[in-house]
Chains A and B, each alone.
Chain A
Amino acid sequence: MSMRELNPDQETSLVDVLDCVLDKGVAIKGDIVISVAGIDLVYLDLRILLTSVETLIQSREEDYHEQSHTTAGSR
């Protein structure tokens, strides 16, 4: 039995990626680093981030649908 068999489709969710990349990893501190982006991601922020991304995508899709609808209608 291997762990990989328990994860056959190897899908990586965006939430997992954001959780790892924004919240974890080694933080290099000190004068040598000129700028560390101040995204102190607590879960509330993560949720806001995801929600606003979703909203943006949705509104873009709506725009797209509206546009394609308009185009279809004008034909």
Chain B
Amino acid sequence: MKSWYVYGYTNRKPEEAFVYPGIDGEPVQFVSEGELFAAATEVDAEEFQPERLQEKVEEPVWVQEKAAHHHQVVQKIFENVPVLPVSFGTVFASKPLLPEEKESYLQSRLKEVDGREEWKVKLFLHVETWMNHADSAREMEESIAGLSKGKQFFARKKLQQDLRARAEQEAEERASELFHAVASCAEKAERKKTWEKQVSGRREEMAANDVFLFYGEEQLNEAASRIKAFKEEEEKLGRGLIVEVSGPWPPYHFAAAETT
């Protein structure tokens, strides 16, 4: 017995041969009975029945490996044809064909992402660098110079807290400036929740986790110039705000939707 594991939907089949093994080793196929194609692979029905799949997804190493593979397949499709990525772990009991209303819904979503690229812009803040960079740091240090040793200790502690809060707020304002500058030349934009250090694996705080959808070279180039200008300005100031760009991503964020 075979089930089908689905990667995404597209409105065109790639012109060149698409040779890529799926999650279970069987090749990825483009399955269709009409104008919408499901990029899918046959899987063992037993292995991918709900209880078994649930067991698998509780196994971190399995998830990590298969999720990375899922992305590679989606990325490959995206490099060839427009794609609506389907979330990880979607399995059909039979051929992944959809009823008409779902199909036309996905068709309209596909038109929205056709020719678009998703890009991520992240900002990381090394708070101490920003704190020490501020003029206020020196001024405040001078202001406590006349205090007694004991008082200086508490005053300095308070001062550090104030400087940190101020640094975070100033960086947040800069992050917001960048977001609006880039969003104004993007088709869609979203500010995502920032990750904690444990997730990002960085020593700096994450100050922005933005995602944009661009359509065409003009938008992309304009966004790139604005990000570059921001980046160069921050590098010149050297106050610990780091810009990181990644992409182009398949439209994971802007295709996110439920077929109800």
Contact = CB atoms under 8 A, between A and B. Distances in A.
Determine if chain A interacts with chain B: yes
Interface of A: 1-3, 5-7, 11-18, 20-30, 32-39, 43, 46-47, 49-53, 56
Please tell me the size bucket of the interface on B.
35 or more
Given A3-B224, A36-B91, A56 B255 contact: no
B90 A1 contact: no
Contact of B70 (A2, A21, A23): A21
Interface in B236-260: 243, 245-250, 252-253, 255-260
Nearest to A48: B60
Contact of A3 (B60, B245, B250): B245
Contacts of A46: 199
Contacts of A49: 60, 63-64
Interface stretch (B13-21, B47-55, B170-178): B47-55
A15 B200 CA distance: 7
B252 A15 contact: no
B84 interface: yes
A34 B60 contact: no
29 contacts: A3-B214, A3-B223, A6-B224, A6-B227, A6-B231, A6-B245, A12-B246, A17-B71, A18-B67, A20-B253, A21-B70, A21-B74, A21-B252, A22-B88, A23-B87, A24-B87, A25-B84, A26-B9, A26-B106, A27-B259, A30-B259, A32-B93, A35-B53, A36-B87, A37-B54, A37-B88, A37-B89, A46-B199, A49-B63
